Amino acid sequence: MKIRSVEAIEVAAPADELSSPWSSTVVLVRITTANGAIGWGEAPTTLMTRPVAESVREVARFYEGRALESHAECLRRFEVYSFYRSRSMEATSALSAVDIACHDLLGRAHGLPISSLLGGAIRDRVRAYSNGWYSDAIEPSEFAEKARAMVRSGFRALKFDPFGDEYRTLSTEGLRAATARVAAVRAAVGETVDLLIEFHGRFLPEAAIRAGRALDAYRPAFMEEPVLPELCDALARFRRAVRTPVALGERLLTAADFESFLARGLVDILQPDITNSGGFTYGREIAGVAAAHGAPVAYHNAFGPVQTAATLQMDAVLPTFFLQESFEASWPAWKRSLVRGYALEAGAFAIPAKPGLGIEVDERAVERYRSEAIEPIGPEPPWVIAGTWARRAPRRAGSDRRVRRASARSRRS
């Protein structure tokens, strides 16, 4: 079964639908074989939409015209040619999406879920934590109210960023505000709900340690990316000073990266992202590293539904599975419409058992939301939850509206 084409498809929020920056675009990869079979993958965006889509074209040259069954050989050949691959998130993201789509096709061809291709599932259900739930929350009472709503819907774990627009340094006022937000959420949900504190890799070491020590009192299950990623060696100091476990991994690209962080004592909980760390092929290597160190794994999962479906297949086989990130409860309607085949119920995912990824992509919805628009730049960075960085910031700046109108015109034409 030969691979006929590898295509990157950007889909984006319609011009008339409100969408947070983190959910405004998705990059899908569609692989079509010579006999017309289709497999799907996904790559991350976050101000990388165009570069990743272009990188897919580079990766495609190593796969098109080759037998699907030789996809691993194609990947290894790309390793040889892609000189900067191990440090290029654009290259590894494109490669990841293609690898996911190849496994989707193989699973469908053999009538097996991808978990079976990876050695077999050891679980059929995973506990999820909610992210994205606190949009437009500024006051502690607003965080508390939204947290209670998530718990009522069935979640027993919540992740959130309480730091507002603090970046690099942390003011006394900023630390006081963050502490009040975390305290309000803990009081609202009680001790039986896990709190996960998102730092977004934003602080210099001293600021991170001050924040970590202050928030230790609220017994989080982990603190995520507490220091700027370029200062990662300071994580050793952070771990000595702060009791809460450190989680990270969404910016690490290879199994060797994860091994290095574990060996140097910089991390407790691993958070690989299947869409930028080599898909299933490298995913098995990363899972082996985690198992060798006994490190819990909580996959990063912040983009679209194909990513979720792929991540669930990895969750099924992970010997050290911990928690699964989910934005589904906070997604806009257009993103929900792209895929059917998996469900989030009472704070948990049932892992799809149908062939391949176990999902069906609605190609009519893909075409409806197809776009060539570059990601918008609004009043808040694309990695924050809308309305939490700039107080009561409008969801879209004027430039954002122009981008969306151009996107809408592109789709209509």
Q: Please list the active-site residues.
A: 200, 300
Q: What does the alpha-carbon distance between residue 312 and residue 320 come to, in Å, rounded to a whole number? A: 14
Backbone angles phi, psi at 149, to 5 degrees: -65, -40
Spatial CB neighbours of 231, under 8 Å, sequence gap ≥ 6:
204, 205
Residue type, 182: V
Q: What does the alpha-carbon distance between residue 411 and residue 413 come to, in Å, rounded to a whole number? A: 5
DSSP letter string, 132-162: STTTT--SHHHHHHHHHHHHHTT-SEEEE--
Spatial CB neighbours of 80, under 8 Å, sequence gap ≥ 6:
none
Say how many CA atoms lie within 13 Å of 148 toward its Cβ. 8
Q: What does the alpha-carbon distance between residue 155 and residue 146 come to, in Å, rounded to a whole number? A: 12
Closest listed residue to residue 118, CA positions, set 396, 379, 357, 369: 357
For the purposes of burial, counting CB atoms within 10 Å of the CB of 292, is it exposed (0-12), middle (13-18) or buried (19 or more)? Answer: exposed
Look up residue 150 and give its two tokens: 């998530």
Helices 89-110, 49-60: inter-axial angle, 10-degree rounding: 60
Three-class secondary structure of residue 301 per DSSP: coil
Backbone angles phi, psi at 360, to 5 degrees: -125, 125
Q: Give residue for tokens 């100091």.
A: 237
